[in-house]
Amino acid sequence: MDTMIETHGLTKEFHTGKKTVTAVKDLDLHIAQGEMVALLGPNGAGKSTTLRMLTTLLAPTAGSARVAGHDVVTDQRAVRRAIGYIGQGNSAAHTQRAVDELVVSGQSYGLPRAEARARAAELMESLGLTDQATQKVMTLSGGQRRRLDIAMGLIHAPGLLFLDEPSTGLDPQNRANLQEHILDLRRQHGATVVLTTHYLDEADALAERIVVVDNGRVVADDTPAALKANHAGDRIALTFDDPTDAARAAERAAAAHPTAQVAHTSRAVDIQVAGGSGIVASLLGDYAQAGVTPATVEVARPTLDDVFLSLTGRSLREGKAHTSPQSDSDTLEEVAA
């Protein structure tokens, strides 16, 4: 498979006053044509900064990156022509009509006006925006606006699409619609897609490969299934009416499964162990023989949050509030102008 993105030691430092923040540290990334990859990590992990370097919006402090065969520092124009970028906001002129916004965007990528109009109509149709075509951008709902962002990123049918937090600000229904659109568009155009997210379900639903980032570094890089299999076990949750039973159940589980992580409170026992679903029957058999009686038993597959916890010792959900000081209104057009 052809290489779409390749980075070596890609690093970005920000200097604010006397403080230096290393947002991305020594990133080595290889993404092949047609891959669908999610950069997953908490707020401040360095996901947006990575995307902004790959899309030429930010110059790296060190290291190198080639995107669609072009160097992001020495060949910015070629990179920009080859990619679509959907940032965390856009700089759409709020008083423009949605369709005009799209056509102008297409023209800025070098499409002739007639082709830009045809492509805009096609995208608005496929993204459910036809009824909003002549509405001013400022009157669109958040979800419609986000879909217009997506259309703007796709107007020139890029072979490589970057999406920074594509679902942020969308309600669950629109989030599901957007995910469908991303999958559909990829199926139709066979594009390579790189997205950032801190929504675990989104990474799980969309990505074939997840690059887990924390503090500017890659801490894991694998398929969602392999990450879960290798970095977290199934979870067996038991409750008990009798606290003595809970204590004995925890003891017996730990003795029978030394690699399991066993936690217990007075009436609940939580066991995390690889292949947990396969050992439930024997565990319950052992409890029955020992006269230990659970009130309820639940078995759950590990989530990506369990993976993140096991890799970093922290939960993704503990992510600090969004504090990135960068502008949310960058677009490629803006920087290219």
Ligand X SMILES: Nc1ncnc2c1ncn2[C@@H]1O[C@H](COP(=O)(O)OP(=O)(O)OP(=O)(O)O)[C@@H](O)[C@H]1O
- Please tell me the distance from the alpha carbon of residue 330 to that of residue 108, in angstroms, as a whole number: 15
- Please tell me the distance from the alpha carbon of residue 203 to that of residue 224, in angstroms, as a whole number: 8
Q: Which residues pair with 21 in a beta bridge?
A: 14
- Please tell me the distance from the alpha carbon of residue 149 to that of residue 166, in angstroms, as a whole number: 9
Please state whether beta strands 70-71 and 19-32 pair in parallel, antiparallel, or not at all (unpaired): unpaired
Work out how close the CB of 192 gets to ligand X at its nearest, in angstroms, rounded to a whole number.
Answer: 20
Tokens of 36: 């669908």
Q: Is 312 in the site for ligand X (CB under 6 A)?
A: no
Q: Is 335 in the site for ligand X (CB under 6 A)?
A: no
Work out how close the CB of 164 gets to ligand X at its nearest, in angstroms, rounded to a whole number.
Answer: 7
Is the Cβ of residue 49 or residue 55 nearer to ligand X in the bound state? 49
The contact pattern for ligand X, residues 151-170, with x = CB under 6 A and - = no contact, is --------------------
Work out how close the CB of 161 gets to ligand X at its nearest, in angstroms, rounded to a whole number.
Answer: 17
Chain positions 9 to 28 lying near ligand X, rule: CB under 6 A, are 14, 16, 21, 23
* Ramachandran assignment for 235, one of left (phi > 0), alpha (psi -120 to 50 degrees), beta (any other): beta
Q: Is 47 in the site for ligand X (CB under 6 A)?
A: yes
Helices (H), the chain: 47-54, 76-82, 98-108, 113-126, 142-154, 172-189, 200-206, 224-231, 243-256, 276-290, 304-312, 332-336
Q: What is the helix (H) or strand (E) element at residue 62, kind and residue range? A: strand 62-67
Work out how close the CB of 54 gets to ligand X at its nearest, in angstroms, rounded to a whole number.
Answer: 12
- Count residues near ligand X (CB under 6 A): 19
Q: Is 317 in the site for ligand X (CB under 6 A)?
A: no
Q: Is 198 in the site for ligand X (CB under 6 A)?
A: yes
- Please tell me the distance from the alpha carbon of residue 262 to that of residue 52, in angstroms, as a whole number: 42
Q: Is 322 in the site for ligand X (CB under 6 A)?
A: yes
Q: Is 48 in the site for ligand X (CB under 6 A)?
A: yes
- Please tell me the distance from the alpha carbon of residue 30 to that of residue 242, in angstroms, as a whole number: 54
Work out how close the CB of 107 gets to ligand X at its nearest, in angstroms, rounded to a whole number.
Answer: 30
Stretch that binds ligand X, among 40-48, 199-207, 236-244, 251-259 (CB under 6 A): 40-48
Is the Cβ of residue 27 or residue 99 nearer to ligand X in the bound state? 27
Distance of CA 199 to the CA centre of its chain: 6
Is the Cβ of residue 69 or residue 319 nearer to ligand X in the bound state? 319
Residue 50 and residue 24 in contact, taking contact as beta carbons nearer than 8 Å: yes
Work out how close the CB of 51 gets to ligand X at its nearest, in angstroms, rounded to a whole number.
Answer: 8
Q: Is 41 in the site for ligand X (CB under 6 A)?
A: yes
Stretch that binds ligand X, among 1-9, 46-54, 200-208, 254-262 (CB under 6 A): 46-54
- When binding is defined by CB under 6 A, the residue of 11, 33, 43, 64 that contacts ligand X is 43
- Fill in the DSSP letter of residue 274: T
Work out how close the CB of 198 gets to ligand X at its nearest, in angstroms, rounded to a whole number.
Answer: 5
Work out how close the CB of 197 gets to ligand X at its nearest, in angstroms, rounded to a whole number.
Answer: 8
Chain positions 246 to 285 lying near ligand X, rule: CB under 6 A, are none
- Fill in the DSSP letter of residue 20: E
* Closest alpha carbon to 162 in 67, 46, 84, 49: 84
**Residue that is written with structure tokens 């993105």 in the block:** 5
List interacting residues with ligand X (CB under 6 A). Answer: 14, 16, 21, 23, 41, 43-49, 196, 198, 322-326
